[in-house]
Amino acid sequence: MSRLYIGFILCFISFASFSQQDLKRYLDFAREKYKQGDYVYSLEYYQKAMQLDSNTVNTLWEYAEVLRAYKDYRKAAYYYGEVYSREEGEMYPNSLLYYGLMTKQTGDYEKAIEIFKKAKKLYRRLDARGYAYKKSRVELESCIWAKANQGDFSDLIMEPLPDYINTKNAEFAHRVEGNTLYFSSLRADSISAAEEVYSTTYKTQIYSSEIKEQYGKDELVDGVNWEHSNSGNGTFSLDKKRFYFSHCRENGHNYQCKILVAYVDKGKFVDIDTLGEIINYPGANTTMPFIGEWDGEEVLFYASDRIGGKGGMDIWYSFIKNGNSFKKPINIKMLNSEDNELSPFWDSAEKTLYFSSSWYDGFGGYDVFKSTYTSAFGEPENLLEPINSPANDLYYFKTSTKDSAYVSSNRLGSNYSKNPTCCSDIYLFRKEIQPEPPTIEETLEDLNKRLPVTLYFHNDIPNPRSWDTTTTVNYIDSYNDYIGMLDQYKKEYSAGLKAEKAEDAKEDIEDFFIEYVEQGVKDLNQFIKLLTVELEKGHKIEMTVKGFASPLAKTDYNVNLAKRRITSLKNYLRNYQDGLYIQYLDKTAPNGAELRIKEIPYGEYVANQLTSDNPNDVKNSVFSRAAAIERKIEIQSVDIIRQEDTLITLLSSDNMIHVAGKQKEGTEIETFFTIKNEGETPIQMTDFIITDNNPNVIVSYSTTHLEPGESIPIKLSFDTTGFKGHQIAEVEIRYNSVEKGLKLAIVAEIE
C-alpha cells in the first residue's frame, strides 16, 4: 500500500473525526437554545450541523420542530414532509400531522386536505381514540371549510399600526382605555438587524400609546413591569380603579403565569397583589384576563390550563363581588376543546364572547371566533377574512365606540427581519366608508362567488319507491338521517376487503361525508345568511337549482326523484328561522321581496355513466363514493329579477324540461314549450343558443317579439341519429339585455 494512500486514509479519518465532533457540538448547542426558546440561535446552529449531515432523520425532525416554533411555516412544512417521506411515521408519528398543519398555515388548503386524509388513515391504525387522529379529522374539515370560505367579502379596511408601535419583534394589543392603547411587546434592550439578542433580558412588557390624530410614541408603563419577568394582557375594572394583568416567571425552560391586580391611584399603578388561588389555581398557567359586565355584575374572563378543563388552555369566567371577591370559576365547556382557547373579549352589549382557538373550522393556526350567549353559549362562529388569516390571529377586541377592532397577527405583511411570519403586529380594522352602498348587481356577484352550494342525499331519498314529484321532507331532516348512516356506509363499502384495505375504504367513505355531505350544509348555512340580507332589502331574486341522481333506477324515475330533492330544499327554506322565507316564496313580503326558484331536474342524465346501475351490486350502486357523489342538488346561481326579465314558461309540469325517456337511436324527438311574457314591457328574443352547437337540435318559432301577456309555442326537435346513452338537447333563449336567458331542454336515454 502506498504512503500516499495511507496518508489520504489518515487525513480522511482525522477529518471525519473532527466533523463528527463539530456536528455533536453544533447539535448540543442548538438543542439547548431550543429549550431556552432562543429559536434564532438554535436554527443557526442546526443549519451548521446540516452542512455536515443533512440526511439523518433525527436532525431533520429537530430542525423542523424549531422551524415550527419559530413560525416559519413554509420551511417547517418542507422538512416535516422530508421526515415523513423517510420514516413514514415509524420514528416520529407526529411528522405527518405537523406536515399538514404547517402546510395549512401557508394557505395551501388543497395540499393540506390531501395530507390530512393520509394522516387520518395513519392515526386511525395507530390509535383511533388518540389526539392525532381526532386532530387530523378536525383539520381535514377545517381545510375544506377554509377552501370554501376563502375571499374577503367584507367591508373592513385593515391598517397595521405605525412601525414605531409594530417593531420587528412581537406586539399584542389588549385594550383602548379612553384615548390610550395598552399593548405588550417582546423586546430586548439591544437587537441587531439579524435578530441576534445582545441583551440577556428579552422579555414581554406592557406599553402604552396615546391616540390623538395618530398614535403617540410608545411608553413603558410604570409599576407593572419587572426586569427579569414578563408582563402583558392588561384590562381595567368597570370602575377603572383596578388594572388586571398577567405576570409570568421562568420555570425551568417554561413559564408560570398568574393574574395580578394593581390599584389605580392618580393615574399610577400601585399596591400590586396576586389574585387568590380560586383564580390562580396552584401549578396552573393563568393568563389573558378581561373584565366585562354581565347582567349588571362584574365578570372576569381568563385562560387557564387548570384542572377541570377540556384540554390545553381553556376559557373560564368568574363573577366579582365588591371588587375583590371572586365566585367559583366556570369552565365554558361549550366552547373549549382539546386544543387551546385564548384571549377572551366579552362584548357586554351584545352578550357575545370573542376568543381565539386552534380547533374549530378556520384559515390558520389560531382564528378569531365569536359565540353569543342567550340561555347558553352558542356555536362558535368564525369571523372570516380579513380578521383571520392562515397565520395566528389573537387578542381581538372592539373599541368602546364599536366602529373599529384590533387584532394581533403574524400574517404575511407583518414586520420582520428574517422570517416573514415570525412575529405578530397589531392591526386595526374599521368599516370602509363608501360614498354609495353597493348595487344589488355587485352584491349578487359576491353571493355567486359562494356557489355552487351542493347538497347530498342517500339513495332514493326522499320518498323511496315513489313517482311523486313533490315531498314534505325537509332537507335538513334528510341530511341528519344520511349522516346517521355513516357506519352502515363504512360497513357496506368495505365489505369483502381485508385488514388495511378495509380500513382505508372506511376512511375514504368518511372523507366523502366530511368533504362533501357535511361541508354542503355548512355552505348552505353561510349562503342563506347572506341571501337573507338581500331579501330583507326588498330585492326580487331568482335562484337556480339543479337536481341529480345516480343511475340505479329508470331515467324518467330519476327525473322525478331530482324534483323531490329540489322540493326538500324548498321545504327547508319554508322552515328556516320559523318560516321567515314563506313570505318571500309566496310573494307576500311587506317589502316586496321575492324568491323564485328555477328548477332544472336533470336526474340521471348528467350523472357519471361509469357509476354502477346494477341493483344487485349494492356496494357500488348505493354505498360507493362514486354513486354517492351523483345524488345531489346544486344551488347554481342567483340573479336579480327585473320587470323586463320576467319571461316564464308555462308548462303543465311546471318546468322547462321534456323527459323523453328511452328512445331508439334515429328517433326524432319533438316537443312544444309555451313561453309567455308576464312582464309589463315588450320582449324581443335576440338569440337561440343551442348547447355545443349540436346540428341535430332544431328550434322553431313563429315570432321573436312578445307583447306583455302574449304567449307563443316553441318547438324543439332532436334527431338522435348517431347518439347513444343519456343525452340532453338544450337551447337557451336570449332576450332583451338579460345576461342569462331561458333554457329549454329535451332529456332522453338513447338505446
Q: What is the pLDDT of residues 296-305, one digit of tens each?
A: 999 999 999 9
Q: Judge whether residue 611 has pLDDT over 70.
A: no
- Other CB atoms within 10 Å distance of the CB of residue 336: 22
Burial class (CB in 10 A: 0-12, 13-18, 19+), 375: exposed
CA–CA–CA angle 420, 112, 122 (5° rounding): 130
Nine-digit cell string for 525:
348555512
For β-strands 156-160 and 425-431, DSSP reports them as antiparallel
Quote the pLDDT of residue 23: 85
Place of cell 393568563: 287
* Residue 7 confidence (pLDDT): 46
User: Measured between alpha carbons, how far is residue 565 from residues 451, 586, 602, 638, 682 in Å?
Assistant: 18, 20, 11, 19, 35
Cell 347554481 belongs to 636
**Residue 445 CB coordination number (10 Å):** 12
Residue 591 phi/psi, 5-degree rounding, is -85, 5
307: left (phi over 0), alpha (psi -120 to 50) or beta: beta
Report the alpha-carbon distance of residue 318 to residue 330 in Å, rounded: 6
pLDDT attached to residue 750: 87
Angle between helical axes of 109-127 and 95-105 (0-180°, round to 10):
160
User: Where do you find CATH 2.115.10.20 in the chain?
Assistant: 158-431
**Which cell numbers hold the place of 179?**
384615548
Write the pLDDT tens digit of every residue in 512-555: 999 999 999 999 998 999 899 889 999 899 898 988 776 544 56
Note whether 101 and 71 are within 8 A (CB): no
DSSP class of 360: S
Whose cell is 332529456? That residue is 747
User: 10: helix, coil or strand?
Assistant: helix
pLDDT for 645 beyond 80: no
**Residue 278 has what pLDDT?**
96
CA 721 to chain centre: 49
Whole-angstrom Cα distance, residue 515 to residue 512? 5
Q: What local confidence, expressed as pLDDT, does residue 266 receive?
A: 86
Give the model's pLDDT for residue 376: 94
pLDDT at 655: 58
C-alpha to C-alpha distance for 571 and 545, rounded to whole angstroms: 14
Q: What is the pLDDT of residue 112?
A: 97
- Do the bridges between strand 180-188 and strand 594-603 make them parallel or antiparallel, or are there none, so unpaired? unpaired
pLDDT above 90: residue 273: yes
pLDDT at 351 over 90: yes
pLDDT per position as a tens digit, 728-750: 888 888 887 666 677 888 888 88
Task: Give per-residue pLDDT as tens, 497-508.
Answer: 888 889 889 999
Got the DSSP string for 512-528?
Answer: HIIIIIIHHHHHHHHHH
Print burial letters for 593-626: b (CB count within 10 Å at least 16), e (below 16): bbbbbbbbbbbbbbbeeebbbeeeebebbbbbbe
3-state secondary structure of 573: helix
Sheet holding 381-382, edge to edge: 341-347, 352-357, 367-372, 381-382
CA dihedral 545, 546, 549, 554 (to 10 degrees): 120
- Interior/surface letters 395-416, b for 16+ CB within 10 angstroms, e for the rest: bbbbeeeeeebbbbbbbeebbb
Residue 439 has pLDDT above 60, yes or no: yes
Asked if residues 615 and 584 have their Cβ atoms less than 8 Å apart, the reply is no
pLDDT tens sequence across 99-148: 999 999 999 999 999 999 999 999 999 999 999 999 999 999 999 999 98
How deeply is 664 buried, as exposed, middle or buried, from its count of CB atoms within 10 A (0-12, 13-18, 19+)?
exposed
Are 539 and 640 spatial neighbours (Cβ–Cβ below 8 Å)?
yes
By the 8 A CB rule, do 415 and 161 touch? no
pLDDT, residue 633, reads 93
Average pLDDT score over residue span 270-289: 94
How confident is the model at residue 252, as a pLDDT?
Answer: 62
| pLDDT at residue 114 in the model | 96
pLDDT, tens only, 19-40: 678 888 889 889 998 888 888 8
Question: Predicted confidence band at 441 (pLDDT cuts at 50, 70, 90)?
Answer: low
pTM of the model: 0.80
- DSSP code of 186? E
485 vs 152: which has the higher pLDDT? 485
Q: Say which range, 377-381, 513-517, 708-712, has the weakest mean pLDDT.
A: 708-712
pLDDT score of 435: 62
Assigned C-alpha cell, 285: 398557567
- Tell me the average pLDDT across 371-396: 95
Cα dihedral 181, 185, 187, 192, rounded to 10, equals: -80
Quick one: which H or E segment has residue 705? Answer: strand 705-706
Residue spans in the chain of domains classed CATH 2.60.40.10: 642-751
Q: How far apart are CA 130 and CA 645, in angstroms?
A: 57
What is the second-level CATH architecture of the domain 55-148?
Alpha Horseshoe (1.25)
Determine the pLDDT at residue 224: 93
The CATH classification of domain 642-751, taken from the options 3.90.1170.50, 3.10.20.90, 2.60.40.10, 3.40.190.10: 2.60.40.10
Lowest-pLDDT choice from 51-55, 78-82, 394-398, 490-494 = 51-55
More confident residue, 618 or 242: 242
Enumerate residues 6+ apart whose C-beta is below 8 A from 301.
289, 290, 291, 292, 315, 316, 317, 344, 345, 346, 353
Enumerate the β-bridge partners of residue 254.
251
**pLDDT at residue number 402:** 80
Q: What's the Cα-to-Cα distance from 69 to each of 34, 36, 318, 619, rounded to whole Å?
A: 9, 12, 32, 46
Query: Does position 470 have pLDDT exceeding 80, yes or no?
Result: yes
175: exposed, middle or buried (Cβ count in 10 Å: 0-12, 13-18, 19+):
buried
Query: What are the grid coordinates assigned to 138, written together?
Result: 378536525
Given a cut of 90, whether residue 429 has pLDDT beyond it is yes
What is 56-124 written as a DSSP string? -HHHHHHHHHHHHHTT-HHHHHHHHHHHHHHHTTSS-TTHHHHHHHHHHHTT-HHHHHHHHHHHHHHHH
DSSP 8-state assignment for residue 191: B
Count other C-beta atoms under 10 Å from residue 349's C-beta. Answer: 8
Q: What is the mean pLDDT of the chain?
A: 86
pLDDT digits (tens, 9 = 90+) for 544-583: 898 877 654 456 788 889 899 999 999 999 999 999 999 9
143-147, 431-435, 464-468: least confidently modelled range: 431-435
Show the 3-state SS of 732-746.
EEEECCCCCCEEEEE
**CA 361, CA 92: separation in Å to the nearest integer?**
26
Please report which confidence band the pLDDT of residue 188 belongs to, taking 50, 70 and 90 as the band edges: low
Q: Which CATH class is domain 158-431?
A: mainly beta
Query: In the prediction, which pLDDT does 2 show?
Result: 52
Sign of CA dihedral 378, 383, 389, 391: negative
**CA–CA dist 583, 574 (Å, integer):** 9
End-to-end CA distance of the chain: 85
pLDDT given at position 257: 92
How many helices (DSSP H) and strands (DSSP E) are in the chain? 16, 34
Which part of the chain has CATH 1.25.40.10? 55-148
Bridge partners of 187, per DSSP, are: 203
